[in-house]
A and B are shown apart, each in its own frame.
Chain A
Amino acid sequence: MPKKKAAPAKEETTDKKTKTGPTPAEKLADELDDLMIAYLKACRETPDKAPGLEKKMKAKTAQLAALQDQGIDAHPSWADVE
């Protein structure tokens, strides 16, 4: 039987993901998109679950807005304008 390849060190994997993967804001926006679909589906099929999902969505939206604000502050072209 061929030997299994050794798993890469945890630090390496994490590092690679950080370099090539989505930014935290993009990841959060994707999660929000999924949550939106789940919410719309709940409104149609299981209305009792909708308020909970709406609450989650609001919390994530606030989180995303905070992340995007940080992004704007850090953007060099805005610093130039100021």
Chain B
Amino acid sequence: MRRLLSSLRAPLPNLASAIDARACESLNRRSYAVVDSFLGETWCHLLRDDIITLAERRLLGRNATHLVRRGTTSLLVKNNIFETELGAHEEARDAAPHLTTLYNDRTLRDRLRECVGGPLRSQSLKVQLNHGRGGCFPLHFDGDPSLDDRVITAVLYLNPDWSDADGGHLQLVPFPEQPVDVAPLFDRLVLFASHDTLHRALPSQNVRFCVTLWFYRTEPGGGAAVADETKAERRLMARYAYREAWARSIEESHAPGEALDAALLDHASDTLKIAEALKARGVDLAALDAMIK
């Protein structure tokens, strides 16, 4: 009740004001930025409460990937990860008014458009609850330029009293720079270039809340991004250089079984193909390995 009254008194803050010139510069030059005290305590608690409501009403589903291999489909389930995409889930929007307000708000998108100097015409929002007990995500890029035109990922963390021992850091790999571990602290927003920043969530030993916003160049269903050969090659190099950590992260993130075995086989086969493609372009694979040691 206290928080409901607070929300009536406190409309959603102007999200643009927290993204200062320094954050924009970091996003443009390093491909990521960390913004603390983004939303304020009241709204962070309201969003967190909404996620609890969604969990309580069983409106969050287990994160699972459908893997198709040799004509058979298996379900690769992530341990302890529950989520929903608000835009595609009307019941969730009705049950979570504060998350819906954030989903519909345009101020952050408008500010980021100024930062990156290009169009950002739509956004989506995913809620995630990690039950802890080692719940994590493998290394990945958000989306793929051949499939979607995501530009920026923004993750807001809602974890009061978080300690380093809880783990659950967001590991960003702004290749060719070294990885950076960012703690999922309360009211911290992390921004990064969706297609170009390799990242993962490290195993969490405590319950962990976050909300992810994705910003797209076009309207929903607008299509693929503009091809950029330099960036495509850098993605392949990152994927090759971190192939062992990538395999370990797949194992850490999923329940054992046939689907996990299939995912590891796919990864091994993709790595071989990537190595061949890089060699054909004249990339020195030994030099790539040396870069991450």
Contact = CB atoms under 8 A, between A and B. Distances in A.
Contacts of A32: 131, 133
A61 B52 contact: no
A38 to B, nearest CB: 9
A25 to B, nearest CB: 10
B133 A61 contact: yes
Contacts of B49: 44
Contacts of A49: none
A40 B133 contact: no
Given A44-B49, A61-B133, A36 B56 contact: no
Nearest to B51: A40
Contacts, number: 22
A44 B131 contact: no
Contacts of A79: none
Interface in A28-47: 32-33, 36-37, 40-41, 44
A7 B32 CA distance: 63
A36 B52 contact: no
Interface string A1-44: 00000000000000000000000000000001100110011001
A37 B256 CA distance: 24
Contacts of B52: 37, 40-41, 44
A32 to B, nearest CB: 7
Secondary structure at chain A's binding surface: helix, strand, loop or mixed? helix
Interface string B39-64: 00000000001001001100000000
Interface in B10-62: 49, 52, 55-56
Contact of B56 (A41, A61, A64): A41
A41 B256 CA distance: 30
Contacts of B67: none
A33 B207 CA distance: 11
Interface in B109-134: 131-133
Interface string A50-79: 000000000001001000000000010000
A22 B133 CA distance: 19
Interface in B203-224: 207
Nearest to B52: A40
Contacts of A41: 52, 56
A41 B52 CA distance: 7
B52 to A, nearest CB: 5
B80 to A, nearest CB: 8
Contacts of B207: 36, 40
A41 B49 CA distance: 9
A61 B135 CA distance: 13
A37 B133 CA distance: 14
Contacts of B56: 37, 40-41
- For the complex of A and B, the 6 pairs showing the least CB-CB separation, nearest first, are A40-B52, A37-B55, A36-B131, A37-B56, A41-B56, A44-B52
18 contacts: A32-B131, A32-B133, A33-B80, A33-B82, A36-B131, A36-B132, A36-B207, A37-B55, A40-B52, A40-B55, A40-B56, A40-B207, A41-B52, A41-B56, A44-B49, A61-B133, A64-B133, A75-B256
Interface of B: 49, 52, 55-56, 80, 82, 131-133, 207, 256
